[in-house]
Amino acid sequence: MKELGETTVVKKKGTRLRAAGLAAMAATLAAGALAGCSGSSSEQSEQSVLRIGMLYGSADNESWFRQQYTDTFEFTHPNVNLEIVYANNYNDMRYSNGEDQKEQPDPYDKMKELLTGKNPVDVVMVDYYQLQRMTQDGLLQQLDPLIAKDKFDISDYVPTVIDGIKAAGDSKIYVLTPTFSGSALFYNKKIFSDAGVQPPTDKMTWNQVFDLARKVKGGTGEKQVFGLTLNRWSGGDAFNDIQTYVAPLQLKMYDDKGEKMLVDSGPAWSNAWDTFLKLYKEDVLPTQEKIQKINEAQQKAREKDKSISSYPNQGDLFSSGNVAMTIGDYNYIMELKNMKDAAATNKSMKAIDWDVVTVPVFEEHPDVGGNSYLGQPMGINAKAQNPEGAWEFIKFLNGREWAKLKSRSTYEIPSRAEFIKPIDGMQYNIKAFYTLKPVPPTSSALEALARSKPGIYEVFSLGQQSFQQALSGKMTAEEAVKDWATKGNALLAKLKTNPKGEQGGSTEGGAVEVLPAG
């Protein structure tokens, strides 16, 4: 079992098979890499070590990581020995018992050891949700001076990427990432055409999209059409959908000390709840009860028509034609394409004619919206032993040649706009995935609070319960929010003496770019 900081050396493999496999990929990159070399031949032939640190890893996934990020660099830089080090071993967590898990230290603290210990790493593969904390702790070297010195052009980095990076670094650049993934509003062209309604456009406000959704809803039984869902899965939670909706507003549930609920300090939360309650009651958004009725109607249709053995896309209301618009990630495109291809021979499948626009925005934040995921942010350790080599590695993976190779990906998008293109020659509004700026990350104060009081996540459960009371008609939106505040304050008081809470708490939150935790 590997201990903290144990090294895995990426050894050179001289087999013809490996060389042939890398040659095609490296050919484009080699010229640029060699052109950037300077100095004497003895300097170029001198061996150097470059240590790459990751938050999580194991021998099991190391091969994948090398293929994705280091093989080609190694092929074009034969004088560099790469050492891959990870702070937290996946297998330690996978095979540990309950007691071991309770005693596990903060993963961030273990990562910090890799950066500040006796043999610090050079390159840091950063988890985006920890980027702000790492920059504030002074663990990363600022990249702006290096970018300017080498005239490393990042002018074509899309707003979703560069603004997301700067938002976590106090308007400075501490990491770069070659790829990202974003979200967009998918819409069914036929539903809008049949209803005689103009489809959505980029940068529409939420209220405008809600109005469109009201115009296209209709039908009954298995063919009932809802106007909108905030995620493609019918099993989505209404309360979580509201969190997605309010994320750009950065509404707080509680104060930075976790001592007082803030949801009733103004009308924002109750207004959001009231908006969604009306949308559910108008059948613009589907409730779980309505979704169940669709499933039952589809079951009856199968019983009548024996040729329909199943609904392969059941559970995905958009691809089944039961919702006009939905918010989906970039990788949803390939699923829709695969469904369309399958529909040619499978009677149970429905081919959807679709396109995308930007996720809806608020009038007060017209350029912010949607969930974004930065593929693999990478930075330089402030205490790097080989900072020059680290910068060369980062430039290599974030250069134009690498972006061109990554443009073929079906699940990630190159950070450089020059190489962004629709998948497999398809026609859709790909700019919708990167036009908007991402929602700012959670403040470090709220992250620290979640670690010191893991039981504070129970506030979410209380919110779900209160919203359900309003959805069932037992409370108004304003009454439900006040109920949430009252129960939340009682919980926060208990957390002063029992920070883990009654459910034991959780220190593993979701990616902060989805929603500020407070």
> Domain containing 24 — which CATH number?
3.40.190.10
pLDDT tens, residue by residue, 281-325 = 999 999 888 888 888 887 787 777 766 655 666 678 999 899 999
Q: Is residue 271 part of a domain?
A: no
Q: Is residue 28 part of a domain?
A: yes
Q: Is residue 496 part of a domain?
A: no
25 and 117 housed in the same domain: yes
pLDDT tens, residue by residue, 85-106 = 999 887 776 666 555 444 557 7
Domain total of the chain: 2
340 and 423 housed in the same domain: no
Q: Is residue 38 part of a domain?
A: yes
Q: Is residue 318 part of a domain?
A: yes
17 and 128 housed in the same domain: yes
Residue where a domain terminates, one of 297, 323, 357 = 357
Which residue type sits at 215? Answer: K
Give residue 207's domain range. Answer: 183-234+286-357
pLDDT tens, residue by residue, 435-490 = 999 887 777 778 778 888 999 999 999 999 999 999 999 999 999 999 999 999 99
189 and 168 housed in the same domain: no
Q: Is residue 462 part of a domain?
A: no
Query: Which of 152, 153, 230, 143 lies closest to 184, judged by CA?
Result: 230
> In a 10 Å sphere around its CB, with 0-12 CB exposed, 13-18 middle and 19+ buried, how is residue 410 labelled?
exposed
58 and 205 housed in the same domain: no
**Is this structure's pTM higher than 0.95?**
no
Q: Is residue 465 part of a domain?
A: no
111 and 228 housed in the same domain: no
pLDDT tens, residue by residue, 248-273 = 999 999 999 999 999 999 999 999 99
292 and 161 housed in the same domain: no
Q: How many other β-carbons are positioned within 10 Å of the β-carbon of residue 106?
A: 11
Spatial separation of the C-alpha atoms in residues 387 and 173, rounded to whole Å: 16
Residue where a domain terminates, one of 391, 407, 433 = 433
Q: Is residue 327 part of a domain?
A: yes
- Select the more confidently predicted residue: 378 or 104: 378
66 and 209 housed in the same domain: no
